[in-house]
Amino acid sequence: MAAERSGSGRTVSAWRPGLPGVVEVFHARFTEYAYPMHVHDAWTLLIVDDGAVRYDLDRHEHGTPHDTVSVLPPHVPHNGSPATSGGFRKRVLYLDGTHLGDDLIGAAVDRPDLRDPLLRRRVGQVHAALVRPGDELEAESRLTLVGERLRAHLRSRDAAAGTPRRDPVLARRLRELLDERVVEGIGLREAAALLSAHPAHLVRAFSGAYGIAPHQYLMSRRVGRARRLLLEGRSPSGVAVATGFYDQAHLTRHFRKLVGVTPGRYRAGGR
């Protein structure tokens, strides 16, 4: 992750994650800076956590209240400036054409600001997963559902349409695949290709069948293995490597979430 901090009312961090479809992640706090008119060659998915932004897109003025997700299409000029005296704090995903195609550019120009609390929450969850090394499957799963909901908005469909079709056979096949790759893990795109299914349908089928998302299932399997190894007396750092976690901190975060204590305390209690 690259970060820049200055005394001019700007705090910026930007990085390119290893997540298919994401060109860049950009987090920033600006108090006075105003963007001039410019274009991107990627889709801009923007949420504002504090303050507000005003911007012009295709010669029309828009704004970003707190509960809004703004989706700005590629190749269309826009600017941006603080709409409040305290500036703004924003998080941005720059996406390639994987989740949003050029056929949706016109719809995004007409209606770039989407008031959808569920979409807003899901975009925030993608960002939260992206800043945690080792949670790439969670980020990919959540981004897949974000893309599906964005497409529904831009195609003027009801974003809350219907109950997803159940597919228990597909869900079981994905569970078996996850069981085979507990330690090495698997990306959502790869799983979808192996199972000949759309990534969004894969996530929904699994969640509908088991009441848990694929990334949550994988982490729970890893934690289960970690518990057995810790009770055998192995160190938390060694267990993290042996069970597929990014590092010991990654293991500790998920272990404490599922077990209620840190791996070290669990190991001590086991003795």
Over the stretch 150-200, which tens digit does the pLDDT of each residue have?
A: 999 998 744 444 445 578 899 999 999 999 999 999 999 999 999 999 998
Mean pLDDT (the chain) is: 86
Does the pLDDT at position 148 exceed 70?
yes
pLDDT at residue 79 in the model:
83
Residue with the bigger pLDDT between 62 and 97: it is 97
Residue with the bigger pLDDT between 68 and 9: it is 68
Does the pLDDT at position 26 exceed 70?
yes
Spell out the residues 6+ positions from residue 55 whose beta carbon is closer than 8 angstroms to its own.
35, 61, 62, 63, 64, 78, 79, 80, 81
Does the pLDDT at position 268 exceed 60?
yes
Going by pLDDT thresholds of 50, 70 and 90, the confidence category of residue 85 is: confident
> 64: alpha, beta or left, given left = phi > 0 and alpha = psi -120 to 50?
beta
Q: What is the pLDDT of residues 215-240, one digit of tens each?
A: 989 999 999 899 889 888 899 999 99
**Strand ranges in 10-140 using DSSP code E only, listed in sequence order:** 10-15, 22-30, 35-38, 43-51, 53-57, 60-63, 68-72, 78-82, 88-95, 113-115
Does the pLDDT at position 9 exceed 70?
no
Does the pLDDT at position 50 exceed 50?
yes
